[in-house]
Structure 1
């Protein structure tokens, strides 16, 4: 196939979505119970789609790719023009592979949650591996340990064709992992490589951790990993560890700023830059937020100037710079681009990018209604009106934020796109205190939104208007108070608030870890 990076895209985007969804209190098995229409609407999510696709990939690895293709072929031939059930497919895969899939199916399709796989490695004084065990854990709420077919990749530094160094795969060991601990006997007695990657090639659906030595190598040499999927897996491991409070968010930011210049896989780059902004605004300790945003803005502008002219990298760095701009120097650079007084080689400032640059100016109170109105007059289209709604909602005034919130909640005729863009601007702040007034308004409006709007409009409002950057104790208390005082609300509605509560708890844990790690 010509789509050489398809699995990299899948790992960076779909699997990241699945892992996040699978760690929310609303997680459910892939085969989810559907009791009413609300279940239909809310359960077609990252579990059904992204985890479902991931587990299908794992199934192919579990039975063997050739056996999988043979079984699927036999299934289609046997049941052509007929209705089937899951058991019909599993029967053909069992016949082709000799694997028992009944227990596999129950563990993977009928239980919720995601496992974590961690290498436990011991070496002697000469660097020879004396013990190698893969530890599997599960969250207490969903304690299922599952069977995995995966590869362990061994990487060492070697000279690249260009004369520099490259972190290159030197060997792979493929094996079944099951239970709490699995010994990797094939690696005992071998020389320890620079980096060891559990779930190399991304066959398994599981969060992965790196051992301490591999972390240090990854931090220093991630930019020297040539394989796009390997990079995506290491980026993902760092992100998962950050979200789980095992890796300080400030170090995650440093990892990205030091290595992202070489990330040329567009989907991975977009995902990593989005995670960078989330980490900076919600996971970094509040006392470090201002300096973190400044450092990100400085680095994004530097990368925008040094990246290949006209490349997607350059465009994404400029977009991220506009989204995170926070200093006078950042504003001056944005204004020069907006006014046409400066340019970057190869960068075309089209209408969409011009709106995003304007957003960055509005974010810093360096532009307002006159500039928004003038830009809209030059782009009076459906997309222009959506961008104008986003820019107006970005205006950094606490009273304006509350007024915008009330207006969009009360406008029964607002279309989805306007709601989505207004919500994006509303929560786009450098100072979370601007959204303090939204917290109570949000929980006061939850039931009204659910009762008065269609499911899809309610979903846009409840997801989009949640002030996620206000990740503090007051936000957590407000969610808990609503849940206690509304025990009889529909399960589908309570799901939204439970997810927001869980996200806030996770952010507070990450902030505490970051504060402890960066304490002077």
Structure 2
């Protein structure tokens, strides 16, 4: 029986029935290194109050349940265990429940994930629970508003590192085996199940100490960071600790509330599904934030952002927690905003808001144009919907709306509200209305109307500037037009606080000449006249380009139109001195490419002309990626090769002038190796870097002074050679054997699946679809390789794909099923037909029509994939030569 999908109504009924006191959880990991064991024993005792005589259930996705004892009475396991639920009837006012069972080790990143390092065979375990996977490790009432105190005891090999949310209280040796110990941890604060955590294994440990410099603080405390032993040479813990200390000082003063937990640990773990998770006392991160091939400023900034993001959750999310997942957005939007603010203020990364605008917001703009978009405050009827709402709306649009809210009420007012919110609701669970009530108390602005327009409507506004002239050619006025999304009533509207930038071409540079503030009120204001002083009127008249939303205060698709300088922007964008303004111009141009309003070749010319001049690591990374996406998706397949050749030549030329060892050089080399997979012209440079994987050489390359061979670039090069059919399966296997690492295993999986032989594609397809032994990362890498090369290599597999959808969803966890469905979805090419005549579009629509009762989360994935396919076809039609 599959009854894992807890509904909001069920959770609400259970919360009305129960109050949970404590969990005592013992997890035995003695045999975790032995992969013949697919499970491990657990014992959980829960103390909880209930309405006398009531009935409920406790959640447990298990291998087996050995015994259930409620209030001293053993229950018949066959009678009470129903799928992932254990039924509890005739409850007393005060209850003690003890459950013995076995839980599965995970390869999906959900629950207790087990990873055996191929480089040294060491074992690493960690847990990941959000939104509801603690029940994969121990029985619990899995919902955020049933907070409790947790007491963890972990039995594991004596030489292992073991940690959890709370401080270690004592270690008890096993009297029958001196190599085994039980770690007993102190009690946690009252927290939700999804933010409890366990870390165990042969981790490398780095330590430091936090000595507060902030006026508000919780006192000095130890800092600990973990990573795999094989990555310790790449573990720049000093930088991690430096950001952590600065962040703790910054947030404690900003929030006027001491850090609420007794320790701060951070673990960088393998095969992690997320960027990071805010477990109080011990945050977990993907080890992708440890940089084996060197790090650019943009990568270090991204890591600092995530460190600050998770740290801000200690207050907004952990100390005060949403009642149910429909308010997930509030904690994530807040943390997104604070992560960027913290990385700039505490981490001293000046381009943090550039990254926010061109990376995070770009994600939101994409998501918000999907047919499955939803209001920031979304209705979450069940856990499957919650799992899928960790999306661009919840994170990026929500934080963009918060940035607009800060512009609307003022930063100090916003922070005043946050401080009051933490103090008022510490330790509790809240809803949106709780936050709005506090904000309304401290603000003179109409936050209720603002919230209705921004948080409870869906879709993306589009903003245009229009210069109106009289018959003599004199400027009469400047108007801003807002095209509201179809789902937003004009009577509600979408208010905006924004600035308008005027730019003039001077000495072959596009320079900002004026910044003009504008407020678009809520309600029906589709066309707003901008108040202009005489000097502003002159700036508007003389402007060679007009950019709405300078400083990126609001959330809207801003159009640099032909009438307002698009051609000038395309030619001179790289000369704009302010990186945020450059980023906003690039963002507008990219949106027009995606909307089939700007031809790909025009965008590529602008990118190629800017490669050598762009000094922002964030923007250079962004535009090189967008250029590749434009060719691969929005140009007909038979017309792509000349564009790949042109882009590769431009990248090579720019890299030749890049400073040796610079961020710019590394970004360009990474892009060269990515593009090399698509053109025979890439063979030479791929062969230059491939030895980094094959023999592990770290020598400096003659062609690119300052650039060293390394396994990361080596596997990128081998993948390119595989796509070009310029390497063999034997060479790839030799490289994997030599590298003997997680990186090598992922690289081999992708490169082998990339080889342009029918046999490789069929094997990769079936491995992704049916091999239950594939880990999350290896599955994704195999699927990426499968998608490389001519569509004829995958001919006929699309029918098998659609036939397997329901079984895939039923047999795999939602996380793994989503990876399969996203990874294997067929590509579209306009040569096969446009619109509904395209076979992929037709098959997707037919499947959706035939399966109206399919799980809503599965249908959502297919609807989004269909929308991407249709957008790609519109782009290919627009760009046909």
State the TM-score, normalized to the length of structure 1.
Answer: 0.92
Counterpart of 2:532 in 1: which secondary structure? Answer: helix
Q: CA deviation at 1:75?
A: 4.3
Contact 2:780-2:823 within 8 A present in 1 as well = yes
* Structure 2 CA distance for partners of 1:32 and 1:208, relative to 1, 3 Å: same
- The C-alpha deviation readout for 1:69-96, integer Å capped at 9, x for no partner, is 3443454455566655433433443454
Moved more, 93-102 or 278-287: 93-102
Residues of 2 paired with 1:92 and 1:186: CA distance? 36
Residues of 1 paired with 2:717 and 2:853: CA distance? 45
- The C-alpha deviation readout for 1:264-319, integer Å capped at 9, x for no partner, is 32233222222211110110234421211121122222222222211222222222
Residues of 1 paired with 2:383 and 2:680: CA distance? 51
* Structure 2 CA distance for partners of 1:28 and 1:314, relative to 1, 3 Å: same
Q: CA deviation at 1:493?
A: 0.6
Residues of 1 paired with 2:529 and 2:596: CA distance? 27
Contact 1:201-1:229 within 8 A present in 2 as well = yes
Match of residue 49 from structure 1 = 395
- 1:344 aligned residue (704, 724, 737): 704
Cα RMSD for the two superposed structures: 2.3
| 5+ residue gaps, structure 2 | 1-344, 692-698, 833-837
Residues of 2 paired with 1:81 and 1:497: CA distance? 39
Structure with the higher strand share, 1 or 2: 2
Counterpart of 1:150 in 2: which secondary structure? Answer: strand
Residues of 2 paired with 1:342 and 1:486: CA distance? 58
Residues of 1 paired with 2:413 and 2:611: CA distance? 39
Residues of 2 paired with 1:435 and 1:278: CA distance? 21
Contact 2:722-2:756 within 8 A present in 1 as well = yes
Q: CA deviation at 1:125?
A: 8.3
Residues of 1 paired with 2:614 and 2:511: CA distance? 16
Q: CA deviation at 1:66?
A: 3.5
- 1:388 aligned residue (738, 742, 748): 748
- 2:589 aligned residue (224, 232, 238): 238
Moved more, 415-424 or 88-97: 88-97
Match of residue 555 from structure 2 = 205
Q: Does 1:358 align with 2:714?
A: no
Residues of 2 paired with 1:9 and 1:86: CA distance? 28
Q: Does 1:331 align with 2:683?
A: yes
Match of residue 411 from structure 1 = 771
Contact 1:389-1:421 within 8 A present in 2 as well = yes
Moved more, 34-43 or 72-81: 72-81
Pairs within 5 Å for 1:176-215: 176-178=519-521, 179-186=525-532, 189-190=537-538, 191-212=541-562, 213-215=564-566
Q: Which structure is higher in RCO with an 8 Å CA cutoff and minimum separation 6?
A: 1
Pairs within 5 Å for 1:216-365: 216-325=567-676, 326-339=678-691, 342-365=702-725
Match of residue 464 from structure 1 = 823
- 2:866 aligned residue (486, 493, 501): 501
* Structure 2 CA distance for partners of 1:276 and 1:437, relative to 1, 3 Å: farther
Match of residue 292 from structure 2 = none
- The C-alpha deviation readout for 1:3-33, integer Å capped at 9, x for no partner, is 2111111111111111111111111111111
- The C-alpha deviation readout for 1:39-86, integer Å capped at 9, x for no partner, is 111112111111111111110011223333344345445556665543
Residues of 2 paired with 1:436 and 1:143: CA distance? 45
Q: Does 1:7 align with 2:353?
A: yes
Pairs within 5 Å for 1:75-90: 75-76=421-422, 84-90=430-436
Residues of 1 paired with 2:665 and 2:802: CA distance? 40
Match of residue 65 from structure 1 = 411
* Structure 2 CA distance for partners of 1:55 and 1:369, relative to 1, 3 Å: same
Match of residue 17 from structure 1 = 363
* Structure 2 CA distance for partners of 1:370 and 1:83, relative to 1, 3 Å: closer
State the structure with more CA Rg.
2
Counterpart of 1:245 in 2: which secondary structure? Answer: coil
Match of residue 162 from structure 1 = none
Match of residue 174 from structure 1 = 517
Q: CA deviation at 1:197?
A: 0.6
- The C-alpha deviation readout for 1:127-149, integer Å capped at 9, x for no partner, is 75322111111343555631111
Contact 1:401-1:438 within 8 A present in 2 as well = no
Pairs within 5 Å for 1:406-485: 406-429=766-789, 431-468=790-827, 470=829, 473-485=838-850
Counterpart of 1:39 in 2: which secondary structure? Answer: helix
* Structure 2 CA distance for partners of 1:34 and 1:323, relative to 1, 3 Å: same
Contact 1:137-1:180 within 8 A present in 2 as well = yes
Match of residue 130 from structure 1 = 476
Contact 1:300-1:321 within 8 A present in 2 as well = yes
Contact 1:150-1:174 within 8 A present in 2 as well = yes
Residues of 2 paired with 1:49 and 1:86: CA distance? 15
Contact 2:828-2:873 within 8 A present in 1 as well = no
State the TM-score, normalized to the length of structure 2.
Answer: 0.55
Counterpart of 2:499 in 1: which secondary structure? Answer: strand
Residues of 1 paired with 2:876 and 2:405: CA distance? 37
Residues of 2 paired with 1:57 and 1:482: CA distance? 40
Counterpart of 2:879 in 1: which secondary structure? Answer: helix
Q: CA deviation at 1:463?
A: 1.6
Residues of 1 paired with 2:383 and 2:429: CA distance? 24
Q: Report how many aligned residue pairs link the two structures.
A: 510
Q: Does 1:513 align with 2:878?
A: yes
Residues of 2 paired with 1:141 and 1:511: CA distance? 28
Q: CA deviation at 1:470?
A: 4.7
Contact 2:458-2:488 within 8 A present in 1 as well = yes
Residues of 1 paired with 2:474 and 2:497: CA distance? 25
- 2:728 aligned residue (362, 365, 368): 368
* Structure 2 CA distance for partners of 1:465 and 1:249, relative to 1, 3 Å: same
- The C-alpha deviation readout for 1:412-465, integer Å capped at 9, x for no partner, is 121101011111211133x34434444223222211211110111111111222
Contact 1:323-1:356 within 8 A present in 2 as well = yes
Q: CA deviation at 1:113?
A: 0.8
Moved more, 483-492 or 246-255: 246-255
Counterpart of 2:625 in 1: which secondary structure? Answer: helix
Q: Does 1:152 align with 2:500?
A: yes
Residues of 2 paired with 1:126 and 1:342: CA distance? 62
* Structure 2 CA distance for partners of 1:22 and 1:421, relative to 1, 3 Å: same
- The C-alpha deviation readout for 1:239-282, integer Å capped at 9, x for no partner, is 11111111122222222112233223223322222221111011
